């Protein structure tokens, strides 16, 4: 009787156990961990690593389970790559999970960031089957929201330092004019022929013109008298000195006659080896390299002269073609041209820009802080000097700083069509970053070598690419919003605080970054006060702060709640 009852009971237990092994119901969130625990946008992506576990006595031996990470927000979702798992009795190449022992697994997802993800939830969705039978496993929520602080680069790059098409204006331009008086061998007398040469005539005319001009000054007139390096040091010492003396007497007489008061500085060189070497190196004379080698080997002037004379094949050419050019007095008029004053330039830029050079007109724009006045000046520059890229570039900067990306792009393209300069390329790179096009930004900045602002611009690019430490190094001690953002993302909070305090023209995003820094360093007064200042400057930041997980700890703070309403 007992045996008859035992067999049906055993069958019921086996069926029951078999039925239990087929269940594969709801999974607890405790079986899953996410890294990072709070999702974060990095370089335009939201990366996450999910470590999951199928518990013991759960995975049906004949089941196949597909697991897909899905990031959901109001009105949309993004799916990651699906992973497939199989039971012990399934023939396939997917990861096998033991029914008795269960099993661990790791999944990775990398979602393309969109702003709506700030208020989102990460789920794991399951699609399970046993043969033709569908098994329902409810989705499991494994994470909340996405920290999107890195995406602020799209806003902070707008205050980055751009590359101006700078003017080359010089108020004082130094000029010089030279003329030579040539001498016969071993003579110091000034010849009438030389004093009537076109060079001397032109020099005297220029001296008088500079002296008479209101916007010119004579600094001095230099006399440098020389003797050629042949004939011995003692002879040449006297000869060069006499040439200097005679030339100075002549010049002083001419200055007195022209009623010009100018400083005359005179000197002489007994043996002009430097001039000799220069003339030989530029000549096509035979054995030129041998002569130059002698000059480099011997420093004693007499030995140099002997060695060169020993090269009998070329010495006659030297005596005929080179040495006569060294028997001279060189007169140099050093003077300066004094440009227009700032007041004159600013007035002409406003009333009669045609009277200004392109350098003066571009310089005029630096004399005002008014964006409207700068725009007017640069516009005139494009009209008067259409083949100069700088005014178009600078108009693009004004548009960029005003937030008009389309207008900035138009001006930058025009500037590039005139000349694709490093400055234009850098500005186009910053604009591409502001538009979210990292590939175009990288290409443009790769052509911006030589610009002072390049490291800073690259810092902005590295933030956008998620390379935070590299960005911090590129920024150095630059005091901008983007530099502070990089330091916050790299968790270098002390440096970020110093940077934010040093920004010369803080804006709404400067304050917003201070608020983020305050929240991350548990400085609630800094967080709330800075956020208040940011919203006062830009009211749209209230809604951003409301969904920003950087401020999650303040969701019950009454001061915070008042700000985001």
Q: What is the pLDDT, as a whole number, of residue 320? A: 82
Q: The tokens of 151 are what?
A: 């995406």
pLDDT of 1 > 80? The answer is no
Q: What is the pLDDT, as a whole number, of residue 327? A: 92
Helix (H) or strand (E) holding 225, with range, is strand 216-226
Q: For the chain, what percent of residues have pLDDT higher than 90? A: 82
Q: The tokens of 182 are what?
A: 């040539």
Q: What is the pLDDT, as a whole number, of residue 81? A: 96
Best CA proximity match to 203, nearest among 245, 258, 242: 258
Per-residue pLDDT tens over the stretch 513-534: 999 999 999 999 999 999 999 9
**Number of Cα atoms under 13 Å in the Cβ half of residue 371:** 9
Give the mean model confidence (pLDDT) for residues 182-203: 95
pLDDT of 291 > 80? The answer is no
Give the mean model confidence (pLDDT) for residues 155-168: 95
Mean confidence (pLDDT) of the chain: 92
Q: What is the pLDDT, as a whole number, of residue 11? A: 37
Got the DSSP string for 375-444? HHHHHHHHHH-TT-HHHHHHHHHHHHHTT-HHHHHHHHHHHHHH---HHHHHHHHHHHHHTT-HHHHHHH
Per-residue pLDDT tens over the stretch 322-375: 889 999 999 999 999 999 999 999 999 999 999 999 999 999 999 999 999 999
**Number of Cα atoms under 13 Å in the Cβ half of residue 66:** 9
Q: Would you kindly state where each structural domain of the chain is located, as residue ranges?
A: 2-147, 172-338
pLDDT of 158 > 80? The answer is yes
In the block, which residue shows the tokens 């969130």? Answer: 29
pLDDT of 121 > 70? The answer is yes
Q: 359 with 167: CB under 8 angstroms?
A: yes
Q: Identify the CATH assignment for 2-147 out of 3.30.750.200, 3.30.930.10, 2.120.10.30, 2.60.40.10.
A: 2.60.40.10
Q: What is the pLDDT, as a whole number, of residue 281? A: 85
Q: What is the pLDDT, as a whole number, of residue 6? A: 36
Give the mean model confidence (pLDDT) for residues 102-114: 96
Q: What is the pLDDT, as a whole number, of residue 317? A: 79
In the block, which residue shows the tokens 């917003």? Answer: 512
pLDDT of 116 > 50? The answer is yes
Q: Per the confidence metrics, is the pTM higher than 0.75?
A: yes
Question: In b/e form, how buried is each residue of 294-323, taking b as 16+ CB within 10 angstroms?
Answer: bbeeeeeeeebbebbeeeeebbebbeeebb
Q: What is the pLDDT, as a whole number, of residue 313? A: 66
Strands 146-147 and 83-86: unpaired
Q: How confident is the model at residue 75 (pLDDT cuts 50, 70, 90)?
A: very high
pLDDT of 23 > 70? The answer is no
Tell me how crowded residue 92 is: count the other CB atoms within 10 A of its CB.
Answer: 11
Best CA proximity match to 433, nearest among 463, 413, 455, 454: 463
Best CA proximity match to 168, nearest among 362, 341, 338: 362
pLDDT of 485 > 70? The answer is yes
Q: What is the pLDDT, as a whole number, of residue 305? A: 74
Q: What is the pLDDT, as a whole number, of residue 15? A: 35
Cα–Cα dist 495/472, whole Å: 10
Return the higher-pLDDT residue of 234 and 190. 190
Q: What is the pLDDT, as a whole number, of residue 246? A: 97
Q: What is the pLDDT, as a whole number, of residue 20? A: 40
- Give Cα separations from 487 to 438, 473, 548, 551 (angstroms): 20, 10, 19, 18
Q: What is the pLDDT, as a whole number, of residue 13? A: 35
Answer yes or no: CATH 3.30.1330.60 is held by domain 172-338.
Answer: yes
Cα–Cα dist 46/54, whole Å: 25
Q: For the chain, what percent of residues have pLDDT higher than 70? A: 95
Per-residue pLDDT tens over the stretch 292-310: 887 788 787 778 777 777 7
Furthest-apart CA atoms within the chain: distance in Å: 154
Strongest mean pLDDT among 7-16, 287-296, 302-311, 545-554: 545-554
Q: Is 105 helix (H, G, I), strand (E, B) or coil?
A: strand
Cα–Cα dist 252/190, whole Å: 14
Q: 479 with 499: CB under 8 angstroms?
A: yes
């Amino acid at each position: 009787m007992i045996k008859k009852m035992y067999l049906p009971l055993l069958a019921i237990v086996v069926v029951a156990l078999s039925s239990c092994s087929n269940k594969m119901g709801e999974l607890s969130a405790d079986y899953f961990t996410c890294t990072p625990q709070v999702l974060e946008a990095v370089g335009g992506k939201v990366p996450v690593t999910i470590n999951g576990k199928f518990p013991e006595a759960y995975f049906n031996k004949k089941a196949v389970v597909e697991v897909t990470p899905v990031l959901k927000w109001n009105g949309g979702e993004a799916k990651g790559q699906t992973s497939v798992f199989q039971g012990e009795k399934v023939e396939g190449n997917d990861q096998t999970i033991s029914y008795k022992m269960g099993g661990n697994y790791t999944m990775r997802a990398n979602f393309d960031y969109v702003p709506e993800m700030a208020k989102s939830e990460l789920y794991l969705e399951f699609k399970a089957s046993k043969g033709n039978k569908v098994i329902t496993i409810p989705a499991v929520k494994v994470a909340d929201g996405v920290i999107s602080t890195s995406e602020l680069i799209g806003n902070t790059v707008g205050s980055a330092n751009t590359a101006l098409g700078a003017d080359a204006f010089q108020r004082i331009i130094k000029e010089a004019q030279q003329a030579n008086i040539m001498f016969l061998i071993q003579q110091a007398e000034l010849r009438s022929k030389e004093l009537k040469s076109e060079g001397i005539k032109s020099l005297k005319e220029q001296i008088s013109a500079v002296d008479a001009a209101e916007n010119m000054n004579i600094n001095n007139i230099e006399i440098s008298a020389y003797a050629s390096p042949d004939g011995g040091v003692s002879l040449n010492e006297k000869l060069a000195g006499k040439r200097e003396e005679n030339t100075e007497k002549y010049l002083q007489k001419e200055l007195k006659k022209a009623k010009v008061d100018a400083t005359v500085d005179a000197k002489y060189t007994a043996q002009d080896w430097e001039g000799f070497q220069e003339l030989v190196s530029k000549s096509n004379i035979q054995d030129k390299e041998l002569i130059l080698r002698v000059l480099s080997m011997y420093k004693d002037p007499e030995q140099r002269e002997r060695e060169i004379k020993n090269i009998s094949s070329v010495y006659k050419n030297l005596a005929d073609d080179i040495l006569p050019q060294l028997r001279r007095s060189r007169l140099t008029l050093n003077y300066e041209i004094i440009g227009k004053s700032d007041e004159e330039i600013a007035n002409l830029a406003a009333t009669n820009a045609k009277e200004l050079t392109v350098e003066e007109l571009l310089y005029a724009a630096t004399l005002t802080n008014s964006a409207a006045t700068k725009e007017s000046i640069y516009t005139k520059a494009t009209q008067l000097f259409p083949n100069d890229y700088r005014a178009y570039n600078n108009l693009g900067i004004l548009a960029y700083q005003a937030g008009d990306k389309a207008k900035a792009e138009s001006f930058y393209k025009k500037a590039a069509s005139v000349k694709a300069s490093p400055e234009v390329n850098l500005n186009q790179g910053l604009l591409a970053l502001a538009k979210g096009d990292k590939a175009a930004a990288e290409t443009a900045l790769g052509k911006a070598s030589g610009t002072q602002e390049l490291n800073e611009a690259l810092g902005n690019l590295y933030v956008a690419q998620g390379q935070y430490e590299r960005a911090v190094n590129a920024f150095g001690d630059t005091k901008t919003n983007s530099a502070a953002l990089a330091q916050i993302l790299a968790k270098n909070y002390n440096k970020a605080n110093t940077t934010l305090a040093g920004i010369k023209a803080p804006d709404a995003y400067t304050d917003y970054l201070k608020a983020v820094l305050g929240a991350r360093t548990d400085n609630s007064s800094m967080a709330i006060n800075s956020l208040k200042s940011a919203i006062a400057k830009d009211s749209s930041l209230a809604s951003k702060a409301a969904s920003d997980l950087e401020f999650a700890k303040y969701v019950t703070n009454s001061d915070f709640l008042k700000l985001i309403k």
